[in-house]
Amino acid sequence: MGLSSVTTGSDTIKFCIFDLRSGQHEGEELNKILFFYPADLPFSTQLSVIGLSEGLITFTRIFSPEAACEVIEAEGHSHVFYEAEPDVWMVMIVEKSKESEAIWRIDALRSVLKEVHSLFMMFHGSIRALLDKEPNGGLIRSHLYSFIMDYLSVTGQSIRIMCWKYFMLLTDLVSGPSGIHNTFRCTVSSLEDTINLFTYAVLRLSPRALSSGLSSWSYLRKGNVSSHAATGSVLANSGAVLDQFYRSRDTSSGEDPSYHIARPLQQDKWTKGKDGFLVSDIWKAEASSSVPTTPTIWLQKTDERVYLCAFQHRNLTLILLFPVTSSLNDQGISLVKQQVLENASLKIVKVEEKLSKGWGGENAYHVSGYRYLLLDGDRNVSRASPPTKVTTLTKESLVALNKLREEVDLEKSRAKSDSPDNDKDMEICIRAKNNAWVIALVTRGKELYMVLEKANETLLYASDAVENFSNRYCNGSFSLD
Amino acid sequence: MGSESDSSTSSDDSAPENPDPNPNPNPNPNSTLIDQTLDAIEDQLASIVLTQTNAIEDSSSEQEVFKDAPNGSLLDENNQPEIGGGEIVDEVEVVGEVEVVSSSIGVVWRRNNSELEVDQPSSPSSSGYAGGRGSSGATSASEIEEVSGDRIREIGREDSFDGMSDSQTAWVPGKRHADEDDASVSWRKRKKHFFILSHSGKPIYSRYGDEHKLAGFSATLQAIISFVENGGDRVKLVRAGKHQVVFLVKGPIYLVCISCTEEPYESLRGQLELIYGQMILILTKSVNRCFEKNPKFDMTPLLVDTYLMLLTTSSDAFYHLKDCRIRIEMVLLKSNVLSEVQRSMLDGGMRVEYLPVDPSARSGTSSPHLSQSRLATDSSDRLQEAFVGIGGPAGLWHFIYRSIYLDQYASSEFSSPINSLQQQKRLYRAYQKLYASMHDKGNGPHKTQFRRDENYVLLCWLTQDFELYAAFDPLADKALAIKTCNRVCQWVKDVENEIFLLGASPFSW
């Protein structure tokens, strides 16, 4: 997608965030809009998008007061809804391309919205809180704009699903393996916080993402293709466009330029210090100050603010979180860092060695003859065939799998609303039109999806293949015995 | 759409209880989309004159609704239509009954505004049966299975509330719950709504509730559709939790279904298509011209009372039938029967009973049971047989075999544990999902599917010659299930001549 298309306005994606509680009086409807991409769409268009969304939310409430509007499917577009906070809605509108099938899952798109919101909350707190702080919306709008634009510039390629290769990865954006930092041990109690931290770490703290002083373009070119690889044009443009935005906003909107908006998703803002700790100038006490402060984030579960410290040794990144208290200041933090270095360095080195040795490489989870995706909801683990192997599948197979996953999503959500405690148990094997076997197995919180293109005709053969896989790699979870 | 700031409540007469039982915690004037006061429309409605008197509201009149016989148990070649003679005829779904006041015949049929969907017959074993058996009772209605082209469709198996579907009460024609409107809790809780409205937002038909009271709601639906259209797109489906809202636009007619039945989108859309087809069958496409001339054209009166009966597909039969009609007319006039009938109906509330059908006129009434090797030759035996089984080999509970080439299908009887209506409905829903999955628009049709959940093991085969859908016990063994299906297919092929109509396709028009 790239921000290079910001000026054209005819994007394949529209993305908006609005607040139902604002702009209720005639003439003030624009106040509802908290974020809109592409930003250069005329206001009338923006209002009709919001208006339609709001209308459908109200309409569906008539029949389904407990479950909010989820999606509008039209011939040319899908509108994906997500109620991020009470009365704060996010809507993503994706254009269906004529040549290729709709190759995204609605759930996958909704999880992108969830991720954006979750990450935003980790850095800035809730949208409602920012709105309450400044009801005219200036604060929240500037925060949302910079945050989401930064986010899009990084992950834009994944969302712009023109290239079908990526869609299998998109669905596991958060929990899937992505390069070397695929193990994440965390003692933070909340799953959501863990996922947020992991996502952020992968996006910005991995060795590849750090600024090395070289130009970003060539730096990324060097590395392997990661799931978040952005094109050169995006990188080239994003910085320029955003700078322009800030300059124009500052002068034209007359907003108080003194509130500093931390932009944690910005590229090249983290560097590795000599002591191994990662530093960044993203967080500052005030806009005018040039003294960086220690990064802080919000933990959702406990609703507390914590300092974020990251230590990196080769391929291992250690993230330390400690509560923000009045007694702890920058000096205190340096002390803690020192303690870590003194007492834990040796252990860190050893762990890193072990992990690196045990790292099977990018193709570690490749199982020859299978293309699979395994999701373990209990242990919050996922395994999948590496992207390079997935791309060997034909488009028809992938589309069939996608459709199957959508069906499974539907069944799971229905089962959940019927009986939240029981897990749905089901098995679906389809021999698709192109003769590939497309298989979904859901049992006791685990899911296994598989495409077998080289299997023979019979259902039994395909089932045997799955059973073998299950016995060898899934502890027999999916086997019938 | 967002500028409706009218916050008055619905002008409809709300139910005596709380008019808004699901109060929107958000005091958002836009929620009045549904509560729009449409004075203009009210005026229009006031000027509508319904020709239907609805005088006899007890709807005890019977409809002549015959069981569909998709295997083409049409009339025999001699094309002798007998009024009440008991020939099974093909059926077109009935919307209502037309007042046929023909001076020559002098028959007055009862009028009624019946529902588009019908409930289960009171006899459980007569449903879902390809060969059909004829209605088991005078008051029972039929279920409708249409085989149209390439699809097996099933409509009208919906009951209004959860838990009511097990009732064995006879279906009665006429609209139920006609007093509801969009403010009633009960109306909102219906499992499946159908609406037809004009492109100007005028309500034409609603399955539940009084159309006149649904003007505001109808306008909302129209607003949604046009809004999306103005944005250069066409809305197909809205999903919220278990609910789906399916839209279908046919020229000046908008059809909407709101359902929480978990049927696949394609099924619901197909049902809307059938409803539209029904409408057009009666009214023909000249309806479009009427709307062109006058967007506020009200077609409800046209829809109210219509009854169609298809006697034969042979296009040559027209003149012969005309002769027959004239002859019958003469006889009836001579005997003065008709005027008696008319008087009795008006004065004495006489009912015209559904006349029993001669089952031996049917073909294709086989009841395949793998455990029994005898072939079905005498269909009347079948009728009397009350088969209670526990499922066939390998836990086979039910199957449907469709011959693509012949455009006919055969299916097994329902036996234990698929005894009750509830069970049968659930099974058909499962088949629906299976079908939709196999016949995926973009990527299909697929070849084989095996599906297992806590309710069934389902197997589906699609080949160039046939389609097979089979349901087994959820614990059925895969290999055995496959073997069983193979045997079913083999068996059907063996008795093809007996269970299907061969020769020139009986459905060529």
How far B246 CA sits from the closest chain A CA (Å)?
10
Bigger pLDDT: A355 vs B319: A355
**Which H or E run includes B198?**
strand B192-198
Q: Which of B245, B451, B482 sits opposite A460 (nearest CB)?
A: B482
Q: Using an 8 Å Cβ cutoff, are A150 and A266 in contact?
A: yes
From chain A, pick out residues whose CB is under 8 angstroms from the CB of B260.
Answer: 63-64
Same domain, A148 and A245: yes
Domain-embedded: residue A203: no
Task: Provide the β-strand partners of residue B249.
Answer: B254
Give the domain extent around A60.
1-164+226-256
State how far Cα A451 lies from the chain centre: 25
Question: Which of A117-131, A301-315, B202-216, B227-241 has the lowest average pLDDT?
Answer: A301-315
Q: Is the pLDDT of residue A460 over 60?
A: yes
**Which of A62, A69, A74 is closest, CB to CB, to B233?**
A74
- Per residue, what are the HEC states of B203-255? EEEECCCCHHHHHHHHHHHHHHHHHHHHCCCCEEEEEECCEEEEEEEECCEEE
Query: For B108-145, how does the pLDDT look when each residue is reduced to its tens digit (9 = 90+)?
Result: 223 333 333 333 333 333 333 333 333 333 333 333 33
Instruction: Say which CATH number the domain at A238 has.
Output: 3.30.450.30
Could you say which of B313, B336, B361 is where a domain stops?
B313
**Number of structural domains found in chain B:** 2
The answer on B401 and B299 residing in a single domain is no
CA separation for the pair B322, B335 (Å, rounded): 20
User: What is the band of A162 on the pLDDT scale with cuts at 50, 70, 90?
Assistant: very low
Q: What is the pLDDT of residues A224-237, one digit of tens each?
A: 233 233 333 333 33
The token duo for B300 is 């409800």
What whole-number distance in Å separates Cα of residue B220 and Cα of residue B33?
A: 6
Position B406 pLDDT exceeds 80 = yes
Partners of residue B26 in chain A, C-beta under 8 Å: 20-21, 87
Same domain membership, residue B197 and residue B292: yes
Q: Is residue B133 classed as helix, strand or coil in its secondary structure?
A: coil
In a domain, B47, yes or no: no
Owner of token pair 């005030």: A286
Please name which of B66, B137, B131, B93 lies closest in space to residue B361, comparing C-alpha atoms: B131
- Chain B nearest CA to A460, separation (Å): 7
Helix ranges, A1-41 (H): none
DSSP state of B29: G
Residue B140 lies in a domain: no
Query: CB-hemisphere CA count at 13 Å for A426?
Result: 23
pLDDT for residue A199:
79
Assess whether A41 and A125 both reside in one domain. yes
Instruction: Look up the CATH number of the domain holding residue A459.
Output: 3.30.450
Same domain, A1 and A120: yes
With bands split at pLDDT 50, 70 and 90, how would you rate the model's confidence at B274? very high
d(CA B320, CA B450): 51
Identify which of B486, B93, B102 has the alpha carbon closest to the alpha carbon of residue B271: B93
> Are the Cβ atoms of A52 and B231 closer than 8 angstroms?
yes
Q: Check whether residue A310 and residue A440 sit in a common domain.
A: no
Regarding whether A401 and A319 lie in a shared domain, the answer is no
Here the tokens at position A175 are 């929990």
Q: Which two tokens stand for residue B53?
A: 């008197």
Q: What is the mean pLDDT of chain A?
A: 75
Would an 8 Å CB–CB cutoff place A429 in contact with chain B?
yes
- Based on the fold, state whether residues A42 and A85 are members of the same structural domain: yes
Question: Residue A103 has what pLDDT?
Answer: 65
State how many domains chain A has: 3
3-state helix, strand, coil in chain B (%, to 5): 30, 15, 55
The domain boundary residue, chosen from B313, B330, B365: B313
With a threshold of 0.95, tell me whether the complex ipTM lies above it: no
B5 pLDDT band, cuts 50/70/90, is very low
Going by C-alpha positions, the residue among A460, A363, A164, A444 that lies closest to residue A452 is A460
The distance in angstroms from the start CA to the end CA of chain A is 48
Least confident of A1-15, A192-206, A214-228, B343-357: A214-228
* In-domain check, residue B62: no
| B478 located within any domain | yes
Q: Is residue B294 part of a domain?
A: yes
State residue A391's pLDDT score.
82
CB of A311 closer than 8 Å to CB of A276:
yes
Residue A180 lies in a domain: no
Contact of A385 with A366, CB cutoff 8 Å: yes
In terms of domains, do B296 and B403 share one? no
Element (H, E) at A305: strand A304-313
Same domain membership, residue A7 and residue A104: yes
Where is pLDDT greater, at A255 or A188?
Answer: A188
CATH number at residue B469: 3.30.450.60
Residue A176 lies in a domain: no
Q: Which chain A residue has its CA at the smallest distance from B183's CA?
A: A62
Full residue range of the structural domain in which residue B480 is found: 393-499
The residues pairing with A442 across neighbouring beta strands, listed in sequence order, are A426, A447
- Phi, psi of A377, deg, nearest 5: -70, -25
Task: Decide if A424 and B453 are in contact by the 8 Å CB cutoff.
Answer: yes
Listed by number, the residues of chain B in 237-256 with a beta carbon closer than 8 Å to a beta carbon of chain A are: 237-243, 245
CA distance A177 to chain B (A): 29
The pLDDT value given to residue A223: 28
Closest residue to A399, CB basis, from B33, B228, B443: B443
pTM (global) more than 0.90: no
Among B299, B301, B300, B306, CA closest to B282: B306
B-proximal residues of A, 450-469, CB under 8 Å: 459-460, 463
Say whether pLDDT at B347 is over 60: yes
Q: Which of A24, A407, A432 sits opposite B446 (nearest CB)?
A: A432
In a domain, A55, yes or no: yes
Q: How many percent of chain B have pLDDT more than 90? A: 23
Q: Confirm whether A169 is domain-assigned.
A: no
Reported as a pLDDT band with limits 50, 70 and 90, residue B192 is very high
Same domain as A240, residue A154: yes
Q: Average the pLDDT over B351-374 and give the result.
A: 36
Between B309 and A21, name the one with better pLDDT: A21
A20-34, A123-137, A320-334, B160-174: least confidently modelled range? B160-174
Q: How many CB pairs under 8 A join A and B?
A: 180
Residue ending a domain, choose from A329, A359, A389 = A359
> What is the rounded CA–CA span in Å between residue B230 and residue B217?
20
Residue B437 has a pLDDT of 93
Q: Are residues A244 and A342 in the same domain?
A: no
**Residue B61 resides in a domain:** no
Residue A231 lies in a domain: yes
CA angle at B112 for the pair B107 and B113, rounded to the nearest 5°: 145
Q: Are residues A16 and A133 in the same domain?
A: yes
Last residue in a domain, options A310, A335, A359: A359
Determine whether the interchain pair B227/A414 forms a contact, defined as Cβ–Cβ distance below 8 Å.
no
A242 is a domain residue: yes
On the question of a cis peptide bond just before residue B417, with omega within 30 degrees of 0, the verdict is yes
- Which one of A315, A331, A359 terminates a domain? A359
Indicate if A44 and A156 belong to the same structural domain.
yes
**Is residue A188 domain-resident?**
no
Q: Are A283 and A270 in contact (CB under 8 A)?
A: no
Question: Which of these three, B294, B313, B332, is where a domain ends?
Answer: B313
Same domain (yes/no): A72, A98: yes
